Amino acid sequence: MHSPTPCIRFDDARDARIGLPEAVFCEGKPLRALKTLLERFAEPQSAPILFTRLAADVFDGMPESLRSAYDYDALSRTAWNRSKPAHAQGRAAIVSAGTADGFVAREVSRTLTYLGWSNERFEDCGVAGLWRIQGQIARINEADVVVVVAGLDAALASVVGGLTSKPIFAVPTSVGYGVAEKGTAALYSMLSSCAPGVAVLNIDNGYGAACAAARVLRAVFERSSC
């Protein structure tokens, strides 16, 4: 007996409504549904699409003819058929505490790149060695919006929040031992930051942080170009 065809109701009008196209969150979806979606957007006439949380073993299990239609990154677990047109202005800085946070920082940068926004990652800037962030802060402040990615005690968000005037979004990661509780300690630390105006995303939600940054960049630079 054949399993039923997956019922997929795609939100094609989301980009027109909010300026952000729908993405496909792959984690937990049946393999058949993912294959159907990957096949659908592999067609040359398809609109740009981003797949998030697409595990390497799942993607590698797809036919080579299908894999070749996508730009896939195993660290961030993201894939796209093609990116959105590049914006002439607007840049984000992505500041991460350690290389262990790279999977989230990379999801931020990949999502922004897919959306057409210029971005730069500043990695291994954890506050256990304050000289690391001090050496990068001038370049970070050249960006128009800042995303901070950190696990453990996530103190980096407060430090950067006190060193930049730019809109700042903080992403706690699930990195850390014991009482770090898979990112809960980092989340609470960021939420209780003494630096005013730090907006906090969910644990490991690099995609959401990129979308938040993109909303700010779009509001500033699309309005200024009118």
Q: What is the pLDDT of residues 136-163, one digit of tens each?
A: 999 999 999 999 999 998 899 999 999 9
Average pLDDT over residues 97-111: 95
Q: What is the CATH number of domain 91-224?
A: 3.40.50.1970
What residues does each domain of the chain span? 14-80, 91-224
- The pLDDT value recorded for residue 20 is 78
Q: The whole model's pTM is what?
A: 0.90
pLDDT bracket for residue 1 (50, 70, 90): very low
pLDDT bracket for residue 222 (50, 70, 90): confident
pLDDT tops 60 at residue 226: no
CB atoms within 10 A of CB 178: 6
User: What is the pLDDT of the chain when averaged over all its residues?
Assistant: 89
- The pLDDT value recorded for residue 191 is 96
pLDDT tops 90 at residue 59: yes
pLDDT tops 50 at residue 183: yes
